[in-house]
Amino acid sequence: MNHAPLDVDALRRILRGRRFGDPLFYFEKIHSTNERALELLEQGFPDGTLVLAEEQTRGRGRRGRAWLSPPRLGIYASLLVRPVADPFLLPLVTFAAALGVVRTLETEQDGKTEIKWPNDVLVDDRKVAGFLAESRGGAEEGAAVVVGLGLNVNQSRDDFPETLRERVTSLRMASGRIWDRTLLLTALLARWEEEHFRLLERGGAEVLSRWERYSSLRNGARVRADLDGEILQGLFRGLTPLGEMRLEVEGGNVRRVAFGEVHRVLGEA
Ligand code: BTN
C-alpha cells in the first residue's frame, strides 16, 4: 500500500509564527531526527525548532534501543527546547509532551489512552508512542534539550518484528482506519505546545497532577522495575516533584527511581 507523505507545505503554513515548528526541518530519510536536532541545538537554533522525517535509518529509543521508523508510517519528530530558566523543570518537559500526545489521542480515537512511567503512551495497554530526551552542551548555554517523539500511526501488525508484536500497537491497528499524519501532527503540536507553556508558566505540580490522571499505574500498584540491570519489586507510590517514580520496597522504604522501565505485576494489588 502506498502511503501519503506529510503535507509539508501545509505544515509550514500552519506552523509559521507558532512557538513550536518554526523553523521546520523536513527530511525524506535521515539517521535520526534527534541526532539532527542536537546538531541544530549546537548551532544555536532557537527554541521550538522542529525536525521531522518520513523515515529514520538509525532511530534511537530509550536505554540504547532502536526505534523502528519505516517510511511514511509513523511520526518521527524532534523538538528543540531552550532555554529552560528553572532547571528543575527540565526533566518535566517530556511529561508535558506526553500529556500533549495523550490528550490528542484521547480525543481522536476510542481506545483506552494512558501513560506508563516515565513517558510511554499506551493505547489499549500497548505502547503506541515513546519519547527520548537528549541534551548536549555546557551549562553556560542555559539548559537546552531535544525531545524526540516516535508515534506509531499507520503501521500494521506485520510492520513490527514478532518479538514486539504483543507489546506494541499503532493508531491504525487500534482503530481500524488509516490516519492523516499531517492533521494528526498539527493537532498534536498544538496540544504539546499548550502543555509545555502551562509547565513553564505554572510550574511542575500542575503538569504532574494532570499527568497522574493518565497514569497506567495507580497508587499501590505492584510493579517490577528494571533499572538498567538492577531489578526491584515494590509498590508504585506516585511521582516526586522531579517526575521520579516513588517505589515502596520491602521494609516500607521508598526508593526514588529516575530512569528505567517498569511493569505491573499482574494478579496483585
Ligand atoms: C522510546 O524508546 O520509547 C523512545 C523512542 C523515541 C523515538 C523518537 S523517533 C524521533 C526521535 N528521533 C530518534 O532517533 N528517536 C526519537
User: Does the CB atom of residue 153 touch ligand 1 within 6 A?
Assistant: no
pLDDT for residue 242 is more than 60: yes
Structure confidence by residue, pLDDT tens digits, 114-159: 999 999 999 999 999 999 999 876 555 568 999 999 999 999 999 9
Question: Which stretches within the chain are classed as H helix?
Answer: 8-15, 33-42, 93-108, 171-175, 181-202, 204-213
State the Cα–Cα distance between residues 25 and 77, nearest whole angstrom: 10
pLDDT at 141: 56
pLDDT for residue 21 is more than 60: yes
User: Does the CB atom of residue 76 touch ligand 1 within 6 A?
Assistant: yes
pLDDT at 246: 97
pLDDT at 256: 95
The whole-chain average pLDDT of the chain stands at 94
pLDDT for residue 253 is more than 90: yes
pLDDT interval class at 84 (50, 70, 90): confident
pLDDT at 266: 75
Q: Which residue lies with its CA nearest to atom 8 of ligand 1?
A: 150
pLDDT for residue 15 is more than 80: yes
Residue reference for cell 494532570: 210
User: Does the CB atom of residue 131 touch ligand 1 within 6 A?
Assistant: yes
Stated length of the chain: 269
pLDDT interval class at 200 (50, 70, 90): very high
The one-letter amino acid code at 60 reads R
Shortest-distance atom of ligand 1 to CA 33:
12
Pairing verdict, β 126-134 and 50-53: unpaired
Interval between CA 111 and ligand 1 midpoint (Å): 23
The model carries a pTM of 0.95
DSSP-assigned letter for residue 143: -
pLDDT at 85: 81
User: Percent of the chain, pLDDT > 70?
Assistant: 97
pLDDT at 229: 84
Our mutation pick for probing the ligand 1 site, out of 49, 57, 67, 192, counting the most ligand atoms within 8 A of Cβ, is 67
Rounded (10°) CA dihedral 82, 33, 123, 102:
20
| Count of C-beta atoms within a 10 Å radius of residue 124 | 14
pLDDT at 267: 56
Structure confidence by residue, pLDDT tens digits, 209-236: 999 999 999 999 999 999 888 999 999 9
Interval between CA 239 and ligand 1 midpoint (Å): 23
Interval between CA 150 and ligand 1 midpoint (Å): 5
Q: Which residue lies with its CA nearest to atom 2 of ligand 1?
A: 61
User: Does the CB atom of residue 56 touch ligand 1 within 6 A?
Assistant: yes
Pick from 147, 10, 175: which is nearest to 76 by CA?
A: 147
pLDDT for residue 69 is more than 80: yes
pLDDT for residue 88 is more than 90: no
State the Cα–Cα distance between residues 33 and 56, nearest whole angstrom: 7
pLDDT at 137: 61
Distance between terminal CA atoms of the chain? 44
Structure confidence by residue, pLDDT tens digits, 158-181: 999 999 999 999 999 999 999 999
Output the nine-digit C-alpha cell for 68: 523502528
pLDDT for residue 269 is more than 60: no
User: Does the CB atom of residue 246 touch ligand 1 within 6 A?
Assistant: no
| pLDDT top residue among 180 and 2 | 180
Span 96-104, average pLDDT: 97
Span 82-92, average pLDDT: 86
pLDDT at 142: 65
Interval between CA 41 and ligand 1 midpoint (Å): 17
The one-letter amino acid code at 11 reads L
Interval between CA 148 and ligand 1 midpoint (Å): 5
State the Cα–Cα distance between residues 76 and 151, nearest whole angstrom: 7
User: Does the CB atom of residue 78 touch ligand 1 within 6 A?
Assistant: yes
